A and B are shown apart, each in its own frame.
Chain A
Amino acid sequence: MEPTKFQVKLYTKSGDVELEKLVPVFHEWIRSKKIADELLIDVADYAHVPQGPGVVLIGHQSDYYLDLADDRPGLLYSRKRGFDGDFQGGVDDAFRRALEACKLLEAESGLDFEFATDEVLFRVQDRLNAPNADATYEAYKPALEKAASTYFGGSASLERVGGPREPFAVRISTGSQGTVDEALARA
Chain B
Amino acid sequence: MTSWKEQLGDRVPEQLAGEVDLFEGQIELKKQGKLDDKIFAETRLRRGVYGQRYDNGLRDDGTGQKPLAFPCGDLTKGPDTVWDAPGMMRIKIPFGKLSADQLDVLSELAEENSDSILHVTTRQDIQLHFIHIEEAPDMMRRLASVGITTREACGNSVRNVTACEYAGVCTTQAFDVTPYADAITKYLLGHPDVQDFGRKFKIAFSGCEDNPCGLVTFHDLGAVAHVRDGKRGFRVVVGGGLGAVPVQAKVLDEFCPEEELLPLAQAVSRVFARLGEKQSRARARIKFLVQKVGIDEFKRLVAEERAGLRPDPRWTAFLDDLHSTDEKPVREAGPLPANASPAFTRWAEHNLKPQAQDGYYVAIVKMPLGDFTSDQGRALASLAREYTGDAIRCTVEQNLAFRWLSGADAVAFYERLSALSLAEAGAGTISDMTSCPGTDTCKLGISASRGVTGELRKRLSLVQDELDPAVQALRMKASGCFNSCGQHHAADIGFTGVSRQVGGRKVPHFNIVLGGQWTENAKSYGLVVGAVPSKNIPKAVDLITAHYLEQREGEESFQAFIARVGKKEFRKVLAPIQKPPAYEDDPSYYSDWGDPREYNIGDIGIGECAGEIVPFVEFGLQEAEQQLHDAQDALEAGDAAAAASGGFKAMVTAAKALIRHLEVQVTDDANDVVGNFKTHLYDTQLFHDPFAKGKFANYLLKMHGDKSYEDANEEIAHRALDEAQLFLEAAHGCYQRLTEAAAAAAE
Interface residues of chain A, those whose CB is within 8 Å of chain B, are 2, 5, 23-24, 27, 30-31, 39, 41-53, 56, 58, 60, 63, 65, 69, 71, 80-81, 125-129, 165-167
CB <8 Å contact, B54 and A42: yes
Contacts of A5 in B (CB 8 A): 112
- Asked if A41 and B371 sit within 8 Å, CB to CB, the answer is no
Q: Is the CB of B594 within 8 A of A51?
A: no
User: In the complex, A69→B115 CA distance in Å?
Assistant: 13
Select from chain B the residue with minimum beta-carbon distance to A26.
B596
A43→B70 CA distance, assembly (Å): 17
For residue A49, which residues in chain B have a CB less than 8 angstroms away from its CB? 117, 368, 371-373
Asked if residues A53 and B62 are in contact (CB atoms below 8 Å), the reply is no
Q: What's the nearest-Cβ distance from chain A to residue B410, in Å?
A: 21
What chain B residues lie within 8 Å of A51 (beta carbons)?
A: 373, 375-376, 420-421
Contact pick for A60, options B70, B111, B369, B597, CB 8 Å: B70
A23 to B378, Cβ gap below 8 A?
A: no
Within 8 A of A (CB), among B1-32: 1-4, 7
Top 7 closest pairs, chain A to chain B, by CB: A50-B421, A24-B596, A48-B368, A31-B61, A125-B112, A48-B454, A45-B594
- Give the most central of B53, B115, B420: most A CB within 10 Å: B115
- Give the chain A neighbours of B672 by CB distance below 8 A: none
**Contact of B369 with A53 in the complex, beta carbons under 8 Å:** no
**CA distance in complex: A27, B598 (Å):** 11
Whether a CB of chain A sits under 8 angstroms from the CB of B293 is: no
Residue positions of B touching A, CB distance < 8 A: 1-4, 7, 53-54, 59, 61-63, 68-71, 84-86, 104, 108, 111-112, 115-117, 129-130, 132, 368-369, 371-373, 375-376, 378, 420-422, 440-441, 451, 454, 457-458, 594-597
Give A121 Cβ to nearest chain B Cβ, in Å. Answer: 13
A39-B70, A48-B368, A165-B104 as given contacts; A53 in contact with B422, CB under 8 Å: no
Closest chain B residue to A41 by CB distance?
B68
Q: A23-B595, A31-B63, A51-B420 are in contact. Are A44 and B130 (CB under 8 A)?
A: yes
* Shortest Cβ distance from residue B87 to the other chain A in the assembled complex, whole angstroms: 12
Nearest-neighbor residue (CB-CB) of B1 within chain A: A129
10 more CB-based (< 8 A) A-B contacts, given A39-B71, A51-B373: A24-B596, A41-B68, A41-B86, A44-B440, A46-B371, A53-B117, A65-B116, A71-B421, A126-B112, A165-B378
On chain A, the residues within 8 Å of B61 by CB distance are: 27, 30-31
Q: How far is the CB of B549 from chain A (nearest CB, A)?
A: 27
Residues of A within 8 A of B63 (CB): 31
- B4 CB to nearest A CB, Å: 6
**A39:B69 contact, CB within 8 angstroms:** yes
Q: Which chain B positions have C-beta within 8 A of A127? A: 108, 112
> Once the chains are docked, how many angstroms separate the CA of A48 from the CA of B116?
14
Q: A63, B115: Cβ atoms under 8 Å?
A: yes
- The reply to whether A52 and B54 form a contact with Cβ atoms under 8 Å apart is no
Residues of B within 8 A of A50 (CB): 368, 421-422
Contacts of B378 in A (CB 8 A): 165-166
Residue of A nearest to B131 (CB): A80
Instruction: State A48–B451 Cα separation when bound (angstroms).
Output: 10
Q: What residues of B have a CB within 8 angstroms of the CB of A46 in the complex?
A: 115, 117, 371
B596 touches A27 (CB 8 A): yes
6 CB-based A-B contacts, threshold 8 Å: A41-B85, A50-B421, A52-B371, A52-B373, A53-B115, A56-B115
Give the residue name and chain of the A residue nearest to B454 (CB): A48
With the chains together, A18 CA to B129 CA distance in Å?
24
Q: How far is the CB of B351 from chain A (nearest CB, A)?
A: 16
Interchain CB contact under 8 A, B375 and A42: no
B560 to chain A, nearest CB (A): 33
B416 to chain A, nearest CB (A): 14
Of B2, B62, B375, B422, which contacts A31 at CB under 8 A? B62
Most chain B beta carbons < 10 A, residue from A48, A69, A126, A167? A48
Cβ–Cβ < 8 Å partners of B59 in chain A: 30, 41-42
Among B63, B112, B441, max chain A CB count under 10 A is at B112
- Tell me, in angstroms, the Cα distance from A126 to B109 when the chains sit together: 10
How far, in whole Å, are A69 and B376 apart by their CA atoms in the complex?
Answer: 10
**Contact between B130 and A53, CB atoms less than 8 A apart:** no
State which of B1, B369, B376, B420 has its C-beta within 8 Å of the C-beta of A48. Answer: B369
Shortest CB distance B418–A (Å): 11
> Residue of B at shortest CB range from A1?
B1
| Nearest residue, chain B, Cβ from A49 | B371
Distance in angstroms from B31 CB to nearest chain A CB is 16
Q: How far is the CB of A78 from chain B (nearest CB, A)?
A: 8
Which single member of B4, B116, B596 contacts A23 (CB below 8 Å)? B596
Given contacts A52-B373, A53-B116, contact A58 B86 (CB under 8 A): yes
- Complexed CA–CA distance, A65 and B594 (Å): 16
Name B453's closest neighbour in chain A (CB-CB).
A48
CA of A46 to CA of B375, assembled, Å: 15
User: Cα distance A43–B69 when bound, in Å?
Assistant: 17
Closest-CB distance, B434 to chain A (whole angstroms): 13
Closest to A40 in B: B68
CB-CB under 8 A from A44, the residues of chain B are 115, 117, 129-130, 440-441
Q: Which partner residue on chain B sits nearest A30 by CB separation?
A: B61
Chain A residues closer than 8 Å to B69, beta-carbon distance: 39
